[in-house]
Each structure stands twice: as C-alpha cells, then as structure tokens.
Structure 1
Amino acid sequence: MNRYEREFDTDWDALGKDGATDRAYAIGVAERLGEYNREELEAIYAEMDSAYHRSMVELAYDEGRNEAKATAEATNADGDAIWAELVEGERTTVDEDDIPTGGRDGLPDALAPSELLDRQEVDSTEAVSRPEFLDR
C-alpha cells in the first residue's frame, strides 16, 4: 500500500472538483517520490464533467509534482517528510491578534455595511419634510 492509498480512499463512486484536485495534487507528489498511480489519475480525469475541471485537475497534479521537486531540492528530507509536509501538513494557524474583530460580523470598519441604504421606518415623515437649510 503506497502513501496515496493510505491517505485517500480509492473506492470512491463520485468526486467533486475540490476532492479531485486534492487527490490529483497528492498523486503528483507521490509520483515525484517514485510511487506511480496513473490508473487513479485517469479515473479522476474521467470523473470531471467539463474541460475546465479536467484542466484544474491537471494543474493540481503538475503543482504537486513541482512542489515535491522543489521541496526535495531545497531540503535533504526523505520521501515521508516531503509527503507529510505537502499533503498531510496543510494546516494554517492564525494568531489571535490577527483575527479581525471590528465592525459587524468581525469585518473591518471599511467593509462593514453602511446604514445609508437601510429603509426608513414606515411611519416616518422625515423623508418628505422641509430640509433644515431652507428654514430661516
């Protein structure tokens, strides 16, 4: 059983585009590490229903191969360490100080919705009254 088969279930019936690109990326990494799985890659291509999605799968596969090659050249890590870093270790941590807390829904004030477009109350006559600058 190779790295790809340990990480991903190969008995799938249908794949979405996100799952297909994740799998194609992993196949690219595994192939650069010497583990070929062309049948699975061809099955993923066949599952995609449009040329656009097939091209996304192909790009993910190429990206996996290229990143595995670059990582292997930049470090003296073995295949397991490269696999763990590129496929298993895709975790992003955000420092609590970097989380936006301003405005409504945690958005920065510049992106918060404005009250200018809010509707007037039904009983409001202010919208049709004389403007203050016309009063003497």
Structure 2
Amino acid sequence: MVNIMSCLFCKIVDGKVPTNKVFEDENAIAFLDIEPATQGHTIVITKNHFDSFTTTSEDEVAMLFKTVHKVAKALEKTFSLYGMNIGTNVGNIAGQEIHHFHVHLIPRYEGDGGQNGIKSIVWTDSDTNSLDILAARIKENIN
C-alpha cells in the first residue's frame, strides 16, 4: 500500500502537480502521459485513491470506464486512429509504477509497432489441455 500523501496521482487530483488535462469531472481526471508510448497517450485516473484495479470498488470502476470511453472517442476523432490499446497494470510484476488506479489509452498508428496488441506485452507458453479445469477454479472465486 502506498502512502497517499506521496502518491503522484493524488497530487495531480489536489492540483499540486501540473498536467496537460484533457477531461475532468467529479470522479475522474484524464491527462496526457508525460512519457507517452505514442502521440496522444492519455491516462485516466480516479479522483479517490485506490492502489489498483482490484482494490477499487465496482462503482468506481464503472464510473472511471465511462470517462475512459468518452476520452477514447475523443482520441479517435482527434487523431484519426487505426486502433488503440486500453489497459491497466496491476502490481509491480505487471509493470504498475504508480499505485493509484489508472487506465492507459494508447493510440495506435500505422507502422508504430503496436500491431500485436496485448500479445506484444507478454506472451508465455501455457497448458491449454486443462482449460476446463482452470475455468472451473476461477468460477469458484467469482462472487
């Protein structure tokens, strides 16, 4: 768990760190990433602090994804995109650097190297012979 007082995104919410904001409402803020993967790379954050996607309430996730949808449509119009990656990292091992729930919107352009989508992030060999067993185990843990 991160100290909320030192959280970069909480400082952005409080107006203590400047950003290139593209959208704000009572629940979320969207701003351009200062280390963009591509032109228009935008981050959408919750105004309330949650360490990650899995610690965020369902209501907050739903509200945030309404903003993600709105911003994604604006990015499509602004940049005449070929596609877009939309995602979040959960935990250090998955690449989460700032422990405040946020979603990346990464516009994709012809020839930018992003054509393999999430498969270009990580792809490992997995046993596909026991998918039914694995699915049953996951179902047991869904509330």
How would you bin the TM-score normalised by the shorter chain? under 0.3
Bigger proportion of residues as strand: 2
Structure having the higher Rg = 1
Bigger proportion of residues as helix: 1
